[in-house]
Structure 1
Amino acid sequence: MIVKNITSVSGFLLMGFSDNHELQILHALLFLVTYLFGSAGNFIIINITTLDPQLQSPMYYFLKHLSILDLSSLSVTIPQYIESSLAGSGYISYGQCMLQIFFFSAFTWGELAILTVMSYDRYVAVCLPLHYEVIMSPRKCRWVVTIVWLSSGVPGTLYIATIFSIRFCKAKKIHQFFCDVPQLLKLSCSNDYLVIMAVADFLAATGFACFIGIVISYV
């Protein structure tokens, strides 16, 4: 791995899984295969649910957007890791790191939100079948998906806004293969991380509430 004087530059050094370049190449190939299979599966779901007229119900409409979000979240982190592993350098600029945090947080939140919506859709289909067409009308489904996509930008925006207030006084080495908020907190000085911890706690509580809603609806 090409190690720069990482304390004097604006970027970070992603440590990944190994310092051995041969192992880095092996990891890159494994990630590439996983990424291609994951992308292919999501593309198939997106195409089928878009083109097949028999798969135009709300369940498949939500499934299509879940696949889009899943494909997007994979594309935020894995290609960059593959490129840096093959090049033998884990360096990532500050701007790239912030963009990675924003989009990864956004797409991950979007997946949780759409899963919550899908669980409600199944609840209505099973428990309120006579009212299903009214409750889950195409217009309402489009509005719900729009809200999911718009709300997905909230976590990323909160994280980025609070990260800008952090001063990094330690070696900028991130022991992860992508820019991860908990790893960034380890590089902060004194109590700079308290605000971002409050944001993380708020998002964790909201995510847990969505999880409880999913469990209750399926039960």
Structure 2
Amino acid sequence: MTNSTIMTEFLLVGFANGWKLRFLNSMLFLLMYLATMLGNLLIVTVSTIDKNLHTPMYFFLRNLSILDMCYISVTVPNACVNFLTDNRAISVAGCATQIFLVIYCGYVEVMFLTFMARDRYVAICQPLHYPIIMNPRVCDYMTLISVISGLAYSGFHTANTFRLPFCQSNVIHQFFCDIHSLLILSCSDTFYNEIANLVSAMVFGGGCFLLIAMSYFHIFSTAVKFPTSRERGKAFSTCVPHILVVSVFLISGIYVNLKSSVTIEPIHDMILSTFYTIVPPLLNPIIYSLKNKQVKEALRKLILR
């Protein structure tokens, strides 16, 4: 019989080992976390109080802001504590919970971004039908589909990962629990897990990216026909930032999910992971709302009130 050990905990690896560097990393993560929470909380508050913002576009922005606050809270606070205390241990149950929530939030985030692209397409290309196509009931259904399907998606990948036995080192080369870092620690064949990750990333991530690209292709095709440069500039200014964030989120996420576990340095892996776990929630309030005149006007009224 081969020797086997029941894994009870894992050890997370940070960006640096020295106290000064760990303190610097924790402060940087903490500042990004506080900025993300403040920006998204402002969006949620303003879009809820101001009745002029009770439209499908701001409905999805409010949901996205709520999701982003949850998304970044899954990884960053625990990472900050680990950096400061140098206590890298995380239980198997805690690791499974973190993986489930990261996948769930990432899945719903992509769904929301896809629906937001669809909303902009209808608003610019089919403005007369906008109130009918994007009515409140349809928006509620879109949100419900994202939330429920996300539970099934993340539950499948989490269960598929933790059905494997772990008998290698318990050190995870990541600042949070990550599926692909765990597969390295498994002492069984992970071929089917890697195939499942590959297929889901290609079908879901690639499909959503294709839908978003098609929506903005039609938007740009319609915008260039606008009679005035002001209208064209307004349409482009709405679309380009969204495309940039979607590209960073999807490309970094798909790359990390499709890469071979041994073809990239751990530090590079951790840096890439921040681009789909920390950067999008930080940038979304700035790109989607805080540069919007309606949101800034509503925020000004709220402060004066």
Q: Is the contact made by 1:11 and 1:94 (CA closer than 8 Å) also made in structure 2?
A: yes
Question: Per-residue deviation at 1:121?
Answer: 0.8
Q: CA deviation at 1:137?
A: 0.6
SS at match of 2:11: strand
Gaps in structure 1 of 5+ consecutive residues:
1-6
- Partner in structure 1 of residue 197 of structure 2: 200
Residue 202 of structure 1 deviates from its aligned partner by 2.6
**Aligned residue number for residue 176 of structure 1:** 174
Name 1:157's counterpart in structure 2. 155
Find the residue that maps to 2:145 and give its secondary structure: helix
Structure 2 counterpart of 1:186:
184
State the partner residue of 1:215: 213
Number of corresponding residues: 212
What is the Cα-based RMSD across aligned positions, in Å? 1.3
Equivalent residues in 2 for 1:66-105 (5 A)?
A: 66-105=64-103
Which of 46, 58, 77 is 2:44 aligned to?
Answer: 46
| Equivalent position amino acid for 2:196 in 1 | V
Which amino acid is 1:153 matched to? L
Normalised by the length of structure 1, the TM-score is 0.92
1:118-177 superposed Cα distances (whole Å, 9 cap, x missing partner):
111111111111211111111111111111111221221011111122111211111110
Percentage identity across aligned positions?
40
**CA displacement at 1:198 relative to structure 2:** 2.6
Structure with greater proportional helix content: 2
1:155 touches 1:203 (CA, 8 Å); kept in 2? no
| Residues 58-67 or 123-132, more deviating | 123-132
Q: Is the 8 A contact 1:14 1:173 kept in 2?
A: yes
Secondary structure of 1:152's counterpart equals: helix
2:162, 2:188 → 1: CA distance? 15
* TM superposition shift of 1:9: 4.8
Q: Which amino acid aligns with 1:15?
A: V
Task: Check whether the contact 2:103–2:154 (CA below 8 A) recurs between aligned residues.
Answer: yes
- Structure 2 match to 1:133: 131
- Post-superposition shift, 1:8? 6.8
Q: From 5, 11, 14, give the equivalent of 1:13.
A: 11
| Separation (CA, whole Å) in 1 of partners of 2:68 and 2:147 | 13
In structure 2, C-alpha distance between the alignment counterparts of 1:38 and 1:217, rounded to whole Å? 28
Indicate if the aligned counterparts of 1:84 and 1:90 stay in contact, CA closer than 8 A.
yes
Give the C-alpha shift of residue 214 in structure 1: 0.3
Distance 1:47 1:203 in 2: 35
| TM-score of the superposed pair, with normalisation by structure 2 | 0.67
